[in-house]
Amino acid sequence: DAKTTQPNSMESNEEEPVHLPCNHSTISGTDYIHWYRQLPSQGPEYVIHGLTSNVNNRMASLAIAEDRKSSTLILHRATLRDAAVYYCILLSNFGNEKLTFGTGTRLTIIP
C-alpha cells in the first residue's frame, strides 16, 4: 500500500480556515485520495475523496497537487466541533477496500 505522511498535530483558531497537508509521493495512477476524521470517543467518519481535480462538499474541500504527490484538506471555517484526528488514506480503485490508516494529524481548535 502506498504511504502517506502527515504532520502529527496542528492548531487553528476558531472560525478561521484550516489547511491540513498530506504527502503521498508514491501514489499510483489509480489511487484515490480519501480523508477520514475521528472525533473524540467516536469511530472514523468519511470526509471527502478525489482523484485529480479539486473537490468540494458540505464538510470540506480537497486540493490536489498537479503531480498528485500531495494534497490538502481545507476546512473553510473551523469550529470547535472540527477538533479531531484527520487521516489521509490512499485507496486503489480496483476493489481493495481495506483502509490503511497512519497516525493522522490531531487538529486542535483554539476558541
Partner 1 sequence: DAGVTQSPTHLIKTRGQQVTLRCSPKSGHDTVSWYQQALGQGPQFIFQYYEEEERQRGNFPDRFSGHQFPNYSSELNVNALLLGDSALYLCASSLASLVGAKNIQYFGAGTRLSVL
Pick from 29, 58, 94, 111: which binds partner 1 (CB under 8 A)?
94
Query: Applying CB under 8 A, which part among 19-27, 34-42, 52-60, 72-80 lies near partner 1?
Result: 34-42
Pick from 51, 65, 80, 110: which binds partner 1 (CB under 8 A)?
51
Distance CA 34, CA 30 (A): 13
Pick from 5, 16, 102, 110: which binds partner 1 (CB under 8 A)?
102
Establish if 103 lies at the interface with partner 1 (CB under 8 A): yes
Query: Applying CB under 8 A, which part among 9-17, 18-26, 43-51, 67-75 lies near partner 1?
Result: 43-51
CB atoms within 10 A of CB 18: 21
Distance CA 59, CA 76 (A): 9
Strand order from edge to edge, sheet including 84-92: 9-13, 105-110, 84-92, 31-38, 45-50
